[in-house]
């Protein structure tokens, strides 16, 4: 039976210290979600494969974790079935998979519960997802996602509210963050202005790499696709222009003057900007493309200002998310916070608490059975006053209990000896300052509140 235990590849345990940090970030995000009127839902980890397959492209389908059917899964299988390859074979022995993101289960949920929900429906969801990716630094097979979406309204007020949400979360987390915004419609307008409307996808893919590879590489790629050099030169000027959001809008208005959809997208950008009182960390970035094909309107992406760590949030407007579950024409807009990366960024910048605000404040310790009994009773009276505390379980050398308090970060150690029992007192040592005082039992709650 003896074995050297290990975690499954690409998965992590979170001990008490990491959980303090994680819970701190989760609770701030959750608080702001609720402050903006988003309601919590949870969907199961296990979904029917029919819900998941075909929603994330071929690569996504391959990265789904699939759950073996229970019982005798070979009952209807003949040895010959193996010869048709693992993809065909897996369809015979697997019906369920693990959630790959929170968006598809949300779309399924909305579609199934459409008659009971109050629309526009604003939901948030914070749960783990699983991907059979090759594990590497910062990339895990099990990680949390953290999404807020509004479906059933095409008003740009929703986009504006998501921007405010982004700003208030990072403001409370003390992380300087920037939100880049763009519009799929503006991008479509640009491709139209370039006279290459049927090359939208190649254009978006090329543009998405601009920050990494530089303009020359992107330009060569586009020239190969048949884009015209003089038009690309005009685009280069617009993309490289550094100015205020309003100036960028003015530049683009000329470039897009012949594109109806481009101008409509630009109007949306203008409107959303006008709704945002604080534009100090809001950047209209015409380079922003975002990979996901389901976006149809405004798109956004958050970045940390002081660290090149990649995106810490992303989202946009979509129009057809629920249509594959039989509910067409349900426009929505959402933002997903890259919670695992946010935790890494905050940790790197030393912006996470090392001490749990809910942590134990007092350790009771004693020399004899009488002291033990008194400690148990004092501990319970502290707790009923909302003060966290614990009773050291053994009559031991007092040093050992002090070491325990120190290791666990407990601030006060309360000691009851036989003298204290007689006089109704308790000795309270503050581990952070080293000071010690004698208190009446009845004074303890007040001293620690």
Q: Rounded to whole angstroms, how far apart are CA atoms 397 and 159? A: 61
Q: Rounded to whole angstroms, how far apart are CA atoms 360 and 408? A: 9
Q: Is 446 in the site for a copy of itself (CB under 8 A)?
A: no
Least gap, CB of 116 to a copy of itself (angstroms):
7
Pairing between β-strand 311-318 and β-strand 142-151 as defined by DSSP bridges: unpaired
Nearer to a copy of itself, 4 or 422 (CB): 4
In 3-state terms, what secondary structure has residue 334? strand
Binding string to a copy of itself for residues 349 to 388, with x set by CB under 8 A, is what? -------x-xxx--x--------xx--xx-xx--xx-xxx
Binding string to a copy of itself for residues 1 to 40, with x set by CB under 8 A, is what? xxxxxxxx--xxxxxx--xx-xx-------xx-xxxx-xx
Rg value, the chain, Cα:
29
Which parts of 155-184 interact with a copy of itself (CB under 8 A)?
155, 157-158, 160-161, 164, 168
Q: Is 325 in the site for a copy of itself (CB under 8 A)?
A: yes
* φ, ψ (nearest 5 deg) of residue 116: -100, -15
Q: Is 132 in the site for a copy of itself (CB under 8 A)?
A: yes
Least gap, CB of 4 to a copy of itself (angstroms):
7
Least gap, CB of 310 to a copy of itself (angstroms):
23
**Which of 302, 309, 315 is closest to 102 using CA atoms?**
315
Q: Which of 187, 190, 389, 426 binds a copy of itself (CB under 8 A)?
A: 389
Least gap, CB of 251 to a copy of itself (angstroms):
25
- Residues that bind a copy of itself (rule: CB under 8 A) add up to a total of 121
Of 45-53, 179-187, 189-197, 428-436, the segment contacting a copy of itself by CB under 8 A is 45-53
Which parts of 70-129 interact with a copy of itself (CB under 8 A)?
70-75, 77-80, 82-83, 85-86, 89-90, 93-96, 98, 108-109, 111-113, 116-118, 120, 122-123, 128
Q: Rounded to whole angstroms, how far apart are CA atoms 380 and 159? A: 49
Least gap, CB of 441 to a copy of itself (angstroms):
14
**Which of 286, 339, 310 is closest to 148 using CA atoms?**
339
Nearer to a copy of itself, 158 or 219 (CB): 158
Q: Is 135 in the site for a copy of itself (CB under 8 A)?
A: no
Instruction: Report CA-CA distances (Å) from 52 to 57, 100, 146, 228.
Output: 10, 8, 19, 41
Tokens of 33: 């979600």
**Which of 62, 149, 33 is closest to 102 using CA atoms?**
149
Binding string to a copy of itself for residues 270 to 299, with x set by CB under 8 A, is what? ----xx-x----------------------
The CA-based angle 15-16-21, given to 5 degrees, is 100
Nearer to a copy of itself, 191 or 391 (CB): 391
Nearer to a copy of itself, 33 or 295 (CB): 33
Residues 307-321 as b or e (16 or more Cβ within 10 Å = b):
eebeebbbbbbbbeb
Q: Which of 28, 60, 61, 63 binds a copy of itself (CB under 8 A)?
A: 63
Of 150-158, 229-237, 419-427, 437-445, the segment contacting a copy of itself by CB under 8 A is 150-158
Nearer to a copy of itself, 15 or 242 (CB): 15
Least gap, CB of 51 to a copy of itself (angstroms):
6
Q: Is 50 in the site for a copy of itself (CB under 8 A)?
A: yes
Residues 81-102 as b or e (16 or more Cβ within 10 Å = b):
eeeeeeeeeeebbeebbbbbbb
Of 148-156, 201-209, 279-287, 301-309, the segment contacting a copy of itself by CB under 8 A is 148-156
Nearer to a copy of itself, 11 or 311 (CB): 11
Q: Is 139 in the site for a copy of itself (CB under 8 A)?
A: no
- CB burial class (10 A; 0-12, 13-18, 19+) of residue 298? buried
Is the distance from CB of 249 to CB of 269 less than 8 angstroms? yes
Tokens of 293: 């094909």
DSSP characters over 124-155: EEEEEEE--PPPBTTB-SEEEEEEEEEES---
């Amino acid at each position: 039976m003896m074995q050297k235990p290990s975690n499954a590849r690409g998965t992590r345990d979170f001990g008490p210290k990491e959980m303090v940090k994680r819970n701190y970030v989760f609770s701030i995000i959750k608080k702001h979600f609720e402050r903006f009127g988003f309601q919590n839902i949870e969907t199961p980890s296990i979904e029917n494969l029919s819900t998941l397959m075909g929603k994330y492209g071929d690569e996504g389908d391959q990265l789904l974790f699939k759950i073996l059917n229970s019982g005798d899964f070979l009952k209807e299988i003949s040895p010959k079935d193996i010869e048709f390859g693992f993809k065909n074979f897996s369809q015979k022995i697997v019906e369920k998979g693990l959630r790959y993101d929170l968006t598809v289960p949300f779309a399924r949920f909305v579609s199934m519960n459409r008659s009971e929900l109050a629309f526009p429906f604003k939901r948030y969801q914070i749960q783990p997802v699983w991907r059979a990716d090759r594990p590497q630094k910062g990339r895990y097979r099990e990680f949390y996602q953290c999404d807020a979406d509004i479906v059933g309204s095409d008003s740009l007020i929703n986009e504006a509210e998501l921007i405010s949400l982004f700003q208030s979360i990072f403001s409370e987390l003390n992380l300087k963050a920037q939100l880049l915004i763009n519009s799929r419609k503006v991008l479509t307008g640009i491709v139209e202005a370039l006279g290459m409307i049927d090359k939208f996808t190649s254009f978006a893919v090329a543009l998405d790499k601009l920050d990494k590879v530089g303009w020359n590489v992107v330009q060569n790629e586009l020239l190969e696709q048949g884009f015209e050099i003089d038009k690309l030169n005009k685009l280069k000027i617009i993309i490289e222009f550094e100015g205020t959001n309003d100036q960028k809008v003015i530049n683009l208005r000329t470039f897009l003057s012949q594109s109806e959809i481009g101008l409509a997208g630009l109007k949306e950008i203008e409107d959303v900007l006008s709704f945002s009182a604080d534009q100090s960390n809001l950047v209209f970035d015409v380079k922003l493309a975002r990979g996901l094909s389901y976006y149809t309107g405004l798109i956004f992406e958050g970045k940390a200002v002081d660290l090149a760590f990649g995106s810490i949030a992303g989202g946009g407007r979509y129009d057809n998310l629920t249509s594959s579950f039989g509910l067409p024409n349900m426009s929505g807009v959402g933002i997903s916070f890259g919670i695992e990366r946010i935790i890494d960024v905050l940790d790197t910048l030393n912006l996470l608490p090392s001490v749990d605000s809910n942590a134990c404040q007092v350790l009771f310790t004693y020399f004899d059975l009488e002291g033990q009994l008194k400690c148990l009773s004092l501990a319970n009276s502290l707790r009923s006053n909302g003060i966290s505390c614990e009773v050291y379980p053994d009559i031991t050398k007092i040093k050992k209990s002090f070491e325990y308090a120190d290791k666990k970060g407990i601030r006060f150690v309360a000691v009851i000896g036989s003298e204290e029992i007689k006089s109704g007192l308790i000795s309270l040592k503050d581990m952070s300052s080293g000071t010690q005082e004698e208190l009446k039992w009845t004074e303890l709650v007040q001293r620690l509140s």
